[in-house]
Structures are given as C-alpha cells and as structure tokens.
C-alpha cells in the first residue's frame, strides 16, 4: 500500500495555512505560466514546476494557489521537465523526458533525496530504433509518470494525428543508473493524448489527464480534455483495469498538463496559461 509522505526532508518546512476551506477552482501564481507538473504533499503544500526551457525551480503554493516559496535547483537544467512524483522514503523524482520531436537520446529522471543528494536515472525505450522514427511511429513523447511499488511508471503522449492515440505504459527502476525501460502495456484512447499521471494514496486508483486540440469552423482553436481513471486492476496492470472518464469543459483552447491525488477520491488538475486564459487549477471528485 502506498502511503503519502508529508514532504521530503530536503526542503525546510513551509508555512501552514490550513484553516480555510479549499476552493474547487483557483488561479496559480504568475510564475507558473507553463505549469507542467504537480506533487501534492499536503493540504497547503502543493509543489509545481514549469515546462521546457524555464528555470529549474519548484514552486510551493497553499491549497488556494497562493505562492509560499520557491526552490532553485541549480545546477540542474530544465530541458523539458514534464512531471514530478515522490516515494514514501522522501525521494522526489522529476521527469526531464519531454520529447516532442521524438529524437532525444538524453532522457532522464532527476532524483532528489532527503539528504540533499541529487542523482539521475538515464533511460531509453526498448521499441525506438530511429531518432526520430517515421511519422506513423512517432509515439515516444512523454509527459506523465508516478512512483508505485518501487518503480516509476511512465505513460507516453502520442501525436495528435488520426488513428495514433495509443498511450504506452513503461516501467523503470526507481534508482540511479542507466536503463532500458520495460514496456508493460498500451491502450487506445480516442481523440486524447496523455499529459499527466497520478496514483491514489491507497494505490487502488490511477488517473491520467488527457486532451485533444481542434479548430471550430476551421480556425478557432478549442480543446477537449478528460480525466481518465482506472480501478480494479491487478498488480501494475493499470490500463487493464476498469476505466472511468470525467470530461473537463473547455470552450476555448486549454492545455491541461498536471494532475495529482489530493486524497483517494479527489484529484487536482492544472492548465497552462494561454493568450486569454490564465494558468489555473481545479479539484475533481472521481465518482463511479
């Protein structure tokens, strides 16, 4: 059973503002314009990071989106940070594996330990032979992972092209080293690409946030997004469990990229800033 840590000892304690009720929707600090990863450490300890090319920084907010502090992680670099997760021992894992062009050979996961040591895990995919592969096989972008049962579980993001919506589930050892990921499973998702993943504190539910861009009347950008969650799976065969779906209303183009469980029944999802929509987050209860 997976038990959530309160927060890793690597960081000093942050102010606790636990009296106010948590809102269903809230805005995020202006620093998080390309929010890409979320680690829920407690009611008023939500840790976030930005997407590719921005500073290697973690941002702590309370449960209402108020910025409490920042943690600069130099000399790490943020080539394309896509997700963040933790384990019960206090280790934090940051996935620098965004691979939109499908040509990276330096995929890595940074491991931040409670004793302030920083290690890395380097990996490659067992089914990628060309960099980049042919367009019809371009399924090696990655934006989603979580820790579970001593391993890291990764879920690929497909290109938004007709007929290529499989997400692939890979598994990696959760320790420093150089590895070839183990391909576990795959699942066809109609008109959705996966951008975030999380496992519930009790280990009985897995949630993916996914979206699809489209153009209304051929020129107005819009999007559709969903939280897909699975239960009744055996072991780590998450994608073979019973799948449920919660659609997220998106009148205008909104890019959801972050998700984590707040408790066993609720998730927090967040979206990046667009030209007219600010970066924001919302809480969603998962009902059968």
Q: How far is 167 from 188, CA to CA, in rounded Å?
A: 7
Q: Give CA–CA dist 264/257, Å, rounded.
A: 20
Q: What is the DSSP letter of 23?
A: P
Alpha-carbon gap, residue 93 to 111, rounded angstroms: 5
Helices and strands (H and E) in the chain: how many: 0, 21
Q: Which tokens hold the place of 112?
A: 């931040």
Q: CA 17, CA 230: separation in Å to the nearest integer?
A: 32
pLDDT of residue 252: 66
- Short-list 54, 55, 59, CA closest to 69: 59
| pLDDT the model gives residue 251 | 64
Instruction: Pull the structure tokens for residue 90.
Output: 């206090």
At 190 the pLDDT is 87
User: pLDDT truncated to tens, each residue of the chain (288 aa)?
Assistant: 444 444 444 453 444 444 457 899 999 999 999 999 999 999 999 999 999 989 999 999 999 999 999 999 999 999 999 999 999 999 999 999 999 999 999 999 999 999 989 999 999 999 999 999 998 888 999 999 999 999 999 999 987 666 667 999 999 999 999 999 999 999 999 889 999 999 999 999 999 999 987 766 666 667 789 999 999 999 999 999 999 999 987 666 678 999 999 999 999 999 998 878 899 999 999 987
CATH of 30-285, one of 2.115.10, 3.30.70, 2.60.60, 2.60.40: 2.115.10
Rounded Cα–Cα distance for residues 33 and 45 (Å): 19
Closest CA relative to residue 38, chosen from 262, 219, 204, 288: 262
d(Cα 1, Cα 148) in Å, to the nearest integer?
Answer: 9
pTM comes to 0.91
Of 271, 68, 144, give the one whose Cα is nearest residue 280: 271
DSSP state letter for 64: T
Place of tokens 């998450």: 238
Which tokens belong to 217? Answer: 């009347």
């Amino acid at each position: 059973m997976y038990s959530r840590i309160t927060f890793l000892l690597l960081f000093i304690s942050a102010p606790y503002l636990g009296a106010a009720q948590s809102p269903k929707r809230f805005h995020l600090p202006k620093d998080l314009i390309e929010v890409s990863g979320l680690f829920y450490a407690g009611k008023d300890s939500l840790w976030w990071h930005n997407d590719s090319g921005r500073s290697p920084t973690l941002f702590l907010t309370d449960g209402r989106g108020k910025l409490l502090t920042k943690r600069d992680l130099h000399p790490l670099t943020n080539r394309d940070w896509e997700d963040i997760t933790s384990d019960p021992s206090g280790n934090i894992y940051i996935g620098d594996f965004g691979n939109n062009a499908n040509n990276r050979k330096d995929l890595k996961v940074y491991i931040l330990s409670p004793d302030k040591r920083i290690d890395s895990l380097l990996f490659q995919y067992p089914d990628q032979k060309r960099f980049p592969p042919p367009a019809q096989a371009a399924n090696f972008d990655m934006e989603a992972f979580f820790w579970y049962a001593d391993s890291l579980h990764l879920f690929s993001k497909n290109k938004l092209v007709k007929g290529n919506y499989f997400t692939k589930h890979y598994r990696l050892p959760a320790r420093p080293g150089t590895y070839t990921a183990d391909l576990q499973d795959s699942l066809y998702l109609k008109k959705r690409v996966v951008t975030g993943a999380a496992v519930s504190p009790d280990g009985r539910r897995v949630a993916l946030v996914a979206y699809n861009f489209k153009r209304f009347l051929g020129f107005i950008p819009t999007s559709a997004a969903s939280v897909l969650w699975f239960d009744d799976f055996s072991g780590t065969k998450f994608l073979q469990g019973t799948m449920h779906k919660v659609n997220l209303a998106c009148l205008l183009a909104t890019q959801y990229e972050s998700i984590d469980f707040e408790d066993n029944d609720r998730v927090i999802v967040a979206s990046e800033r667009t030209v007219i929509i600010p970066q924001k987050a919302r809480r969603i209860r998962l009902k059968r």
